[in-house]
Structure 1
Amino acid sequence: MAAVRVVPRDRVDVLGEGLFWSVRDGALLWTDILGRRINRFRPATGQVESWEVGDVVGWIIGRAKGGFVAGIGRSIAQVSFDPFICETLADIPGEPATNRVNDAAADPQGQLWLGTMPYACDAPTGSFYRFSKGGISRAAPEPFTIPNGPAIDPTGRFLLHTDSAMGVIFRHELHDGVLGPREPFVTFENGWGSPDGMAFDAEGHLWVACWGAGCVTRFSPEGRPVRRIELPASQISNCTFGGADLDRLYVTSAADGVDEEHGGALFEVDPGCRGLPPFPYED
């Protein structure tokens, strides 16, 4: 049975998301979307810090030249710490005021892939974008209700993501920074929850946060569930590998709409495998 630890801190997340392990800083960064905060955890010291952003913040990702980029409201911002500074890099064009950013990931070329969604989670008004060298473009023709979990497989050949409202994880081939047509990779069954954030391990297996099911599930490269780790919260939202040896799985959750002892906690899991360092954004 996997060891699961609640990371001690003085607050919980309304809606934890957007995890990124910074190898450079030896720190885990993540967001509280509805709490409008960016958090930082240093495992070596146990220190947890939190900064208020002023708008919903979906994700934070390292920047190759230093600092970070984050999805805030309907824009992409540059972020630095010590002192904390947040400045807009680009607005996402054509997004209605009823939409916000949700989740994102960078690929081996340093491009960002990110989704937008309605605040109400009730209609397919969201889109999936590519942000590269400061320019943003629509990356997929399909509309989205709750786009989640972009993840790049270890070979860099495939991009996977989900529309949580559909309960399907899709896979695209990546061709020189362009997405090929999407195909279903995993269709969630009754009792599996809804697929949310995800991350690949070094063996090419996909770990998926299962919203509503209180667990993370490991899927084989063929898309078969091979392991399930139960967590003491129901609304599990995202996961990523971190730690000095990339052998810890960090998992976010949400307190919004539930009355649970550990709803909104950050979990540290011993998954029995290692992950890969995440790709940064390059501009």
Structure 2
Amino acid sequence: MADVRVIERERRDRLGEGPMWSARYEALFWVDILGRRINRMALTDGCVDSFEQPHYAAWIIERETGGFVAGIGRNIVRLDLETGAREPLASVDPHNAGNRLNDAKADAMGRIWAGTMPVTCDRPSGAFYRLDPDATLVQVDGPYTIANGPAIDPDGNFLLHTDTARGTIFRFDIHGDGTLGKATPFIVFEEAWGSPDGMTFDAEGGLWVACWGASRVMRFAPDGTRDRHIMLPASQITSCAFAGPELDRLFVTSASSGVTEEHAGALFEVDPGCRGLPTQKYMG
């Protein structure tokens, strides 16, 4: 097993997700969706803070002008972490009260791509949305049972999005007006790989995918062929992100809900042997 460091902290996540590096704050942010918390770890000293939220904390993304935007329950809000102040921007899935937001990323145009899913994970009632800088919300695809892991390629020409329940990562061309091309299967997971969850690109165009149920993160070459994997001491691996001033540290989240493993719900750090891409911010 490659060198894996378990980050020491007071609590484990029920459903850790959405790690995001902020150069501005010199910190890694991530969420505990079921624990309804946003976590922050300062990379300078390893200090971890946790901010309780009023509903499922699906994701947090930095704003270009300062502060954050977050997916909380079915609402997208501007968020001041220190004061807890929230300013509503948009609400998703108005006719599906049993749904929630799940996983999102910003692109180089300052837009957010975010998926939704049923809390019960058992029916295709979710969708995929684009939030523009002016707060216009547009549904771009659907339906999804477990919408997961949007990742935008280094050149911004296409994005990848997953329905974990179908074990497939789909590829979409991004058009100039923000619309998407037809979904085409890019990577279909084999049973031994678990299920595809959160993912991120590295600077070489390689795709790193968290493998739920398979205790690993996997790297795929730009053409979608399997390159290598790193094993982790937890089965429910949920997402990953590059962090640090040189973007050469890979942090991996996990979940503890439904399992009793020693390191379930831990935050891990592994040596990826490559660098990541700068974090994109929301322009709204």
Q: TM-score range by the shorter chain?
A: over 0.9
Partner SS state of residue 258, structure 1:
coil
Amino acid in structure 2 at the alignment position of 1:166? R
State the match for 2:2 in structure 1. Answer: 2
Please report how far the alpha carbon of residue 149 of structure 1 lies from its aligned counterpart in structure 2 after TM superposition: 0.3
Please report how far the alpha carbon of residue 18 of structure 1 lies from its aligned counterpart in structure 2 after TM superposition: 1.5
Which whole-Å CA distance do the structure 1 matches of 2:197 and 2:57 have between them? 16
State the match for 2:98 in structure 1. Answer: 98
Is contact 2:39-2:50 (8 Å) kept?
Answer: yes
Amino acid in structure 2 at the alignment position of 1:68? F
Partner SS state of residue 178, structure 1:
coil
Which whole-Å CA distance do the structure 2 matches of 1:2 and 1:214 have between them? 12
Please report how far the alpha carbon of residue 97 of structure 1 lies from its aligned counterpart in structure 2 after TM superposition: 1.1
Residues 80-91 of structure 1 mapped to structure 2, 5 A cutoff: 80-91=80-91
Partner SS state of residue 191, structure 1:
helix
Is contact 1:98-1:119 (8 Å) kept?
Answer: yes
Q: Does 1:118 align with 2:118?
A: yes
Which whole-Å CA distance do the structure 2 matches of 1:95 and 1:254 have between them? 29
The count of aligned residue pairs is: 282
Residues 8-23 of structure 1 mapped to structure 2, 5 A cutoff: 8-23=8-23
In terms of mean alpha carbon deviation, does 54-63 or 85-94 score higher? Answer: 85-94
Cα deviation, 1:76-135, whole Å, max 9, x if unaligned, reads 011123334333222225241110000101111011110110001000000000111211
Amino acid in structure 1 at the alignment position of 2:159? L
Give the TM-score taking structure 1 as reference length. Answer: 0.97
Structure 1's consecutive aligned runs of 4 or more residues displaced over 4 angstroms after TM superposition are none
Is contact 1:16-1:254 (8 Å) kept?
Answer: yes
Amino acid in structure 2 at the alignment position of 1:113? W
State the match for 2:276 in structure 1. Answer: 275
Identical-residue share of aligned pairs (%): 58
Please report how far the alpha carbon of residue 246 of structure 1 lies from its aligned counterpart in structure 2 after TM superposition: 0.5
Cα deviation, 1:133-181, whole Å, max 9, x if unaligned, reads 21101111x3000010000010111100100000000000111121111
Amino acid in structure 1 at the alignment position of 2:103? D
Please report how far the alpha carbon of residue 267 of structure 1 lies from its aligned counterpart in structure 2 after TM superposition: 0.6
RMSD over equivalenced CA pairs, Å: 1.0
Q: Does 1:231 align with 2:239?
A: no
Is contact 2:147-2:161 (8 Å) kept?
Answer: yes
State the match for 2:205 in structure 1. Answer: 204
Cα deviation, 1:58-89, whole Å, max 9, x if unaligned, reads 11001111101111111101112333433322
Unaligned runs of 5+ in 1: none
Which whole-Å CA distance do the structure 1 matches of 2:173 and 2:216 have between them? 28
Please report how far the alpha carbon of residue 20 of structure 1 lies from its aligned counterpart in structure 2 after TM superposition: 1.1
State the match for 1:168 in structure 2. Answer: 168
Q: Does 1:189 align with 2:190?
A: yes
Give the TM-score taking structure 2 as reference length. Answer: 0.97
Amino acid in structure 1 at the alignment position of 2:194? G
Amino acid in structure 1 at the alignment position of 2:100? R
Partner SS state of residue 108, structure 1:
coil
Q: Does 1:251 align with 2:266?
A: no
Which whole-Å CA distance do the structure 2 matches of 1:262 and 1:80 have between them? 31
State the match for 1:219 in structure 2. Answer: 220
Please report how far the alpha carbon of residue 54 of structure 1 lies from its aligned counterpart in structure 2 after TM superposition: 1.4
Is contact 1:74-1:95 (8 Å) kept?
Answer: no
Partner SS state of residue 127, structure 1:
strand
Is contact 2:93-2:99 (8 Å) kept?
Answer: no
Please report how far the alpha carbon of residue 253 of structure 1 lies from its aligned counterpart in structure 2 after TM superposition: 0.2
The verdict on how the C-alpha distance between 1:178 and 1:16 changes in structure 2, with shifts beyond 3 A counting, is same
